[in-house]
Structures are given as C-alpha cells and as structure tokens.
Amino acid sequence: MPASAEHRIGGATHVAGIIGWPVDHSLSPAIHNAAFVAAGLDWVYVPLPVPPPELAHALAGLRALGIDGANVTMPHKTEAAELIDGLSEDARALGAVNTISVRGEQIEGHNTDAPGFDRFLREDAGFDPAGRTALIYGSGGAGRACALALARAGISRLTVAARNEATTDGVRGIATNAGAPLDVIASKDAGGRRFDLVVNATPVGRETEPEHLALPDLDRSVVVVDLLYDPPVTALQRRAEEAGAAAFGGLGLLLHQAALSFELWTGIPAPLDVMSAAALSALADR
C-alpha cells in the first residue's frame, strides 16, 4: 500500500496502541500511524486509556482482543514489568516495560528506552559515550534508562544528581552490573563541575517558569540533552545554547524508542524521517 493511499481498516488489520492514564496527550498515535502507512502495512495504532487499577485486566485483554503490540506509558511502566512474565533483558534491568509484543499466547515485555537513547546520541547528537563523562539529573525511570545506555557504551564516569538519595538504588545497581564508575550527588551540588554530556531526566523545565537546575560548566565541547519534548525548546536548552553548548530536546529519544518498538512488532526498519515529520506536525497543532 503506497504512503499516499487511504488506509481502510478491515478484519485483517493489525492493531497496536498505547496504554497509559491519561493518553490523550500522546504523540505515539500520530508517529506510528504515519509509519505504518509509509511502510505499506495494514496496521493501525490507537490510544488505550487504562485507569491504574485496571492494568492487569487490560494486559490480559490484549490477547483476547487480538492486539499485536502496545506501548506502555505513565503510570504503568513499573507495574507492567511486575505483571508480565516474559521480560527482555532491558525490561528486567530497568524494572519497567514500555513496549509489549503479543505473539500467540505469549506476552513479551520490552524496554526500548536505553537502546533508543544510545541511537539518539550516536545518530542525532554525534556523541560516542566511550571514555567520556556524563551527568544525569534524575534517578527515575528515564534517568535509569540513560544510565544503562551510557554504562553499556563505556562511559568513563557517570554522575547522577538526585534530590533524594533514597531513590538512587536502581541506578546504583545498573552502574555496578555494568562496571561503570558512579558518583551520586545532590542536585544543588552539580554547579561548577565539568562533564562531556549533561542530561536532564527530570520534569524540571516543563512549566512556564521552571525551577532552575544548578548547571555544571558549559561550553562548545559539551552536549546537553533535555528529555522534555514539550515545550520544543526548554529553559535548559536555551541556557546551553547561550553558553555555546550543543543542545537537544527529547523528541529524538521519543522517536528512536518508537522506531525500536515498530521494528519489534513488524520486523522491518522504521521510516524514521516520516515518524519525525508526523511528530513535529502533531506538536505544531497543539
């Protein structure tokens, strides 16, 4: 089916979707439906709003309804990992599932965030983590995925800035298992230090008047990534650009992890350029 053809949904159409609460803000339907059309696939991607108490029933219903795959977003990623028996290595390491494949009677739980972040760094930011240093703000799910990607890629030293040290057990375990040297500091103590890569994996910057992060030294040799993609340009990105650093938002990670989900479901390379255009169009319409 050519990309310009009208997509008519029928009895043989494969169905995928996004499980979350809420999901009306998600860019995933626009991204994946554009990809399915561009690839000539008889697939459709729909929102699947699931209240937190109903996740177990929703997962069981995927098989019964003949749904082929799903993404999982907040607040269900951790509970999904607890409910699904067949977990990938990354989903088990992170204790979180963001992608589900339904294959016959088997439900498989995957996590594409760490490899998606690695793809983004190498292909979009042109950054090879091997032998470099990195600072991550945040030790939640996004921070742990970035830490896993960097540890596997041979980061020479990883520093995590967290508001509450009690939340850093997960990232400590990831660093230990990967043999990556790790420092954990308070967020307020990040200022004045020097890193090759700086990643914001917290919600700071989402609001119109954001709380400012205490930033390390920034110059043209530093790559700064804010995992927020809405607003398209965050306060952190502006501050990084003013200092001469290369600054990126979170849309690249969203697209690369989505592309990996697409490839898990379909077995073919994702049309990343089409997915990017669909995401930008959807953001512009907000």
Q: Can you give the pLDDT at residue 6?
A: 61
Query: How far, in Å, are 15, 132, 167, 180, 278 from residue 99 at the CA level?
Result: 14, 30, 24, 26, 20
Q: Can you give the pLDDT at residue 234?
A: 92
How many of the other CB atoms lie within 10 Å of CB of 154? Answer: 14
Any residues with CB less than 8 A from the CB of 180 and at least 6 apart, and which? Answer: 147, 150, 151, 155, 157, 158, 174
Q: Can you give the pLDDT at residue 143?
A: 96
Q: Can you give the pLDDT at residue 21?
A: 97
Q: Can you give the pLDDT at residue 206?
A: 65
Copy the structure tokens of residue 128: 């090879």
Q: Can you give the pLDDT at residue 166?
A: 80
Copy the structure tokens of residue 20: 């979350």
Cβ–Cβ under 8 Å, residues 181 and 157: yes
Cβ–Cβ under 8 Å, residues 94 and 144: yes
Sheet order of strands, 246-248 included: 182-186, 157-162, 133-137, 197-200, 223-226, 246-248
Which of the following is catalytic: 76, 77, 144, 239?
77
d(CA 217, CA 197): 11
Segment-wise mean pLDDT, segments of 10 residues, the chain, 286 residues: 62 97 96 98 98 96 95 97 96 97 94 98 98 97 97 97 88 93 94 96 68 88 96 92 97 98 98 98 93
- Structural domains in the chain plus CATH codes: 14-111+254-284 (3.40.50.10860), 114-249 (3.40.50.720)
77 is catalytic: yes
**H or E element, residue 106:** strand 106-110
How many of the other CB atoms lie within 10 Å of CB of 186? Answer: 12
